[in-house]
Amino acid sequence: MTTQQPLNAEQPENPPREECGVFGVWAPGEEVAKLTYYGLYALQHRGQEAAGIAVADGAQMLVFKDLGLVSQVFDEQTLVAMPGHVAIGHCRYSTTGSTTWENAQPVFRNTPAGTGVALGHNGNLVNTTELLSRARKAGLIQNQGLEAATTDSDVLGALLAHGSADTSLEQAALDLLPTVRGAFCLTFMDEDTLYAARDPHGVRPLSLGRLDRGWVVASETAALDIVGASFVRDIEPGELLAIDADGVRSTRFAEPTPKGCAFEYVYLARPDSTIAGRSVHATRVEIGRRLAREAPADADLVIGVPESGTPAAVGYAQESGIPFGQGLMKNAYVGRTFIQPSQTIRQLGIRLKLNPLKHVIRGQRLIVVDDSIVRGNTQRALVRMLREAGALEVHVRIAAPPVKWPCFYGIDFASPAELIANAVDDETEMVEAVRRTIGADSLGYVSKEGMIAAIEQPASRLCAACFDGNYPIPLPGHTALGKNVVEQMLATTARDASSPAAETVAAPQHP
């Protein structure tokens, strides 16, 4: 049995977060910057730290990006000043590199031929140190202190632009992508052409859509819907698309070995999206049904934790025959803020986002369905809040298996020591320990088998590493992983270069 330090009630929950969403459009005659803005709006849930758009008109490229939500970064005046026929967009949550303007995307690089390349990346690479070493040797990455970008995405952009010195950007991508390891969905562009690529495992979703006068690519199908594009197909694992006046060209740069992220269905994706032909909403409802069969409880009312817990709560109610009710109200305007809360506000905790409907909850035995438990702080505060609102019993049900392992493919989980389900090896003892920690009358998780059955994909085509520790893409040593791996590598190089020994070697010799 392993042990874990007691959880601090003042610690933030740090829910799982996506790294980003990507969007791209090629549509002569359309306002592509505005289409991209609305596409990113639909993908805002995938990243709230920064947003950016690159647009080109065949002759020049313009990139505008900043920290903040899509609606905070762009306004009508900015978008009108970005004419063109091809654009890409990006909304970011950082899992590699700090939250700085330099790390906002799209990444922009000049090619040796004087043209531009802009790139947006969703996912995480596992051979970043190898790629960074290659870029450093080619003189593409310089130590610039706080003004340097420090993401795996910037390294990709540098190598891609450099590779097109003696060839086309399309060929440069076909040369580079087979050497890239990890999870990546890319949208990139030059002055004329839109490109999209998906890693051979297809860890993150990426779809192709059709407009009347063009084409769209997006992280989720919900973003196609919002701009009026019809879904064509998923971009295949190991596929590179090029879209220009000649249409859509498809090239395989690697053999596909699909390992789509199971957590996309459980939590990350919008419920109105479709991944690999399976509705995310239908999956969550079916998970709820299976959860009711696997972890029943005697109660009066089933409620969901908005928003991602609600479809599973509906499924649980349908299967169990226990009525579904709306017992929690969510503040729709709570998002990422750069204003630090005071101690008084911090103590309110979960009430900033959720508030109970006391007349619904009072005197009821509740089944509360949530999407996942990370540290357990949110659920502990929620259970306490529901009891204060008059609930007689609170039975917590989780629409995902226990999260025991961190993700290295584009989700920012807490560290293993902070994952509450990682505290005890024995499954039964772990569930009981978590139940006691959050203060629930009972606790139940859906099984991994039940989740996979609800997703309706073969287990062999899914990545469930955060649940079972089986990582489909081999990982390097721990020193080559982590959010700040590029920053640490650049800092080490800078220290070595400024050391007295280095200065002695580099000093000119005088007679």
As a whole number of angstroms, the distance between CA 331 and CA 354 comes to: 6
Model pLDDT, residue 11? 40
Tell me the C-alpha to C-alpha distance, in Å, between residue 459 and each of 110, 260, 276, 453: 42, 10, 13, 8
**This prediction's pTM:** 0.87
Using the 8-state DSSP alphabet, how is residue 312 labeled? Answer: H
In this structure, which topology does domain 279-331+340-462 adopt according to CATH? Rossmann fold (3.40.50)
Model pLDDT, residue 10? 37
As a whole number of angstroms, the distance between CA 408 and CA 222 comes to: 25
CA atoms within 13 A on the CB side of 396: 28
As a whole number of angstroms, the distance between CA 208 and CA 218 comes to: 7
pLDDT tens, residue by residue, 345-386? 655 677 778 999 999 999 999 999 999 998 888 899 999 999
Establish whether 342 is an annotated binding residue. no
Per the CB < 8 A criterion, the answer to whether 489 and 476 are in contact is no
Establish whether 498 is an annotated binding residue. no
pLDDT tens, residue by residue, 303-325? 999 988 999 999 999 999 999 99
pLDDT by position in tens, the chain (length 511): 333 333 333 344 445 544 689 999 999 999 999 999 999 999 999 988 899 999 999 999 999 999 999 999 999 999 999 999 999 999 987 655 566 778 889 999 999 888 999 999 999 999 999 999 999 898 887 654 445 667 889 999 999 999 887 889 999 999 999 999 999 999 999 999 999 999 999 999 999 999 999 999 999 999 999 999 999 999 999 999 999 999 999 999 999 999 999 999 999 999 999 999 999 999 999 999 999 999 999 999 999 999 889 999 999 999 999 999 999 998 876 654 445 556 566 556 777 789 999 999 999 999 999 999 988 888 999 999 999 999 999 999 999 999 999 988 988 766 787 788 988 889 999 999 999 999 999 999 999 999 999 999 999 999 999 999 999 999 987 655 555 555 555 555 544 444 444 333 333 333 2
Give the contacts of 154 (CB within 8 A, at least 6 positions apart): 97, 103, 107, 141, 486
Establish whether 246 is an annotated binding residue. no
- Write out the catalytic residue numbers: 20
| E strand segments, 253-392 | 260-261, 274-275, 278-279, 301-304, 328-330, 354-356, 365-370
Establish whether 185 is an annotated binding residue. no
Per the CB < 8 A criterion, the answer to whether 91 and 46 are in contact is yes
Establish whether 66 is an annotated binding residue. no
Encode burial over 85-106: b for 16+ CB neighbours within 10 A, e otherwise: bbbbbbbbbbbbbbebebbbbb
As a whole number of angstroms, the distance between CA 306 and CA 132 comes to: 41
pLDDT tens, residue by residue, 85-115? 999 999 987 655 566 778 889 999 999 888 9
Establish whether 308 is an annotated binding residue. yes
Q: Which of 186, 17, 166, 151 is nearest to 93 (CA)?
A: 17
CATH number of 21-259: 3.60.20.10
Give residue limits of the domains in the chain.
Answer: 21-259, 279-331+340-462
